[in-house]
Amino acid sequence: MASYVIGDLQGCYEELQALLKQLQYNEETDFLWFAGDIVNRGPNSLACLEFVKRLQEQNKAQMVLGNHDFHLLAAYSGLETYVSKSDTLAEILQAPHALDLIDWLRHQPLMLKHDFLPIAMVHAGIPPQWTISEALSYAKEVETVLQSDSWKDAIKHHLFGSDAKTWSDTLDGWERIRYIVNAFARMRYCNDKGKLDFKQKMSPNPNEQTKYQPWFSHSNRKNKDYEIFFGHWSTLGALDAYNIHSTDTGCLWGGELTAYCLEDNTRHTLKCKMNCKPKKRS
Ligand SMILES: [Mn+2]
């Protein structure tokens, strides 16, 4: 029996199947954690989504929501300002069972905690000022919105925007929800109080000491007691330090798809076959 954390798929279904074969993955005994961004930009988003959904429904996998998964929910609810030319979501949106897929997706969490080990997973990161139990409760606030009957309205009018950059315990309303979404699904850099910087997307420059650092490298970080797995940051590459593990090794960009084995702490990778190289990074 083995458990693997799999990095951002973004529609790279062929690579996922090839990697699972390489791992000698056994669906009956092994468990998969998907770090989010299951869909978009790559060639086979529908196949990826259906695969993860089937396994999750059989209690053989879990996933967290990434910014591209949110993007799919937004596209479905008719938020056209977020639809871009590089999207590859049409096959899902036009599928006869689209509603079934979307309803399942919006019931997935933003954060997961291992049943008995000090291990957690999010798509992008956890701000330094949040403990693990605080982070779980904040994730729940957004999950409640997504699972409510008015989720489409929330996503169309309230969930997206880069205005909510600073956290405080008293932050309330939609600004609070937006900050939580931005932190879990989009963050790379922030300051030691959790103020988000969306401009930088590349890997950190060790010679440059600025107030915005990778979310995981702040010395005052309150969630260091858990090993945190995340995806999202493809330019960071494979990093195992600070008690964090990055898993997006840029399969979509001609890099590799990663599976990290929780039992023996080994990384397994598969080189991207498609070399899809979409134009825009997000
Ligand atoms: Mn992402």
DSSP of 187-216: -SEE-TT--EE-S--S---TT---S-EEGG
pLDDT confidence bin for 274, thresholds 50/70/90: low
At 273, list the tokens. Answer: 């076959």
Beta strand pairing status for 227-230 and 119-122?
parallel
- The b/e string for 19-45 (b: 16+ C-beta within 10 A; e otherwise) is bbeebebeeeebebbbbbbbbbbbbbb
Distance 123 CA to ligand 1 centre (A): 7
Terminal C-alpha separation, the chain: 35
Per residue in 163-185, pLDDT (tens digit) is: 878 999 999 999 999 999 999 99
Residue with tokens 């988000």: 196
CA of 281 to the centre of ligand 1 (A): 9
Task: Report CA(67)–ligand 1 centroid distance (Å).
Answer: 5
Position 88 confidence tier, pLDDT thresholds 50, 70, 90:
confident
For residue 236, give the 3-state DSSP assignment: helix
Ordered by where they begin, the domains of the chain are 62-251 (3.60.21.10)
Residue 263: pLDDT over 80? yes
Distance from residue 37's CA to the centre of ligand 1 (Å): 6
Gap between the Cα atoms of 232 and 131, Å rounded: 21
pLDDT-derived band at 250 (thresholds 50, 70, 90) equals very high
Q: Is the predicted pLDDT of residue 273 greater than 80, yes or no?
A: no
**How far apart, in whole angstroms, are the C-alpha atoms of residue 181 and residue 158?**
11
Q: How far apart are the CA of 228 and the centre of ligand 1, in A?
A: 16
- Expressed in angstroms and rounded, the spacing between residue 162 Cα and the centre of ligand 1 is 15
- Rounded distance from Cα 207 to ligand 1 centre (Å): 26
Q: Report the amino acid identity of residue 140.
A: K
Task: Specify the range with the lowest mean pLDDT, choosing from 44-48, 107-111, 118-122, 207-211.
Answer: 207-211
Q: For tokens 């690579």, name the residue.
A: 15
Partnered with residue 190 across adjacent β-strands are 196, 213
Angle at 62 between CA 140 and CA 197, to 5 degrees: 55
d(CA 89, CA 45): 7
- Please give the distance, rounded to the nearest whole angstrom, from the Cα atom of residue 88 to the centre of ligand 1: 15
How many angstroms does the Cα of residue 150 sit away from the middle of ligand 1? 25
DSSP type of residue 61? E
Q: Within 13 A of 239's CA, how many CA atoms are on the CB side? A: 22
Proportion of the chain above pLDDT 70, given as a percent: 95
- Name the nearest CA neighbour of 244 among 261, 268, 220, 223: 223
Distance 252 CA to ligand 1 centre (A): 11
Ligand 1 centre distance from Cα of residue 10 (Å): 9
Q: How far is the CA of 153 from the centre of ligand 1 (A)?
A: 23
Q: How far is the CA of 239 from the centre of ligand 1 (A)?
A: 16
Mean pLDDT of 264-277: 83
CA of 39 from ligand 1 middle (Å) equals 10
Measure CA 160 to chain center: 16
Give residue 151's pLDDT: 97
Per-residue confidence band for 276, with pLDDT thresholds at 50, 70 and 90: low
pLDDT of residue 211: 81
3-class DSSP state of 178: helix
pTM of the predicted structure, to 2 decimals = 0.95
CA distance 30 to 250: 24
Nearest Cα neighbor of 276 from 6, 13, 7 is 13
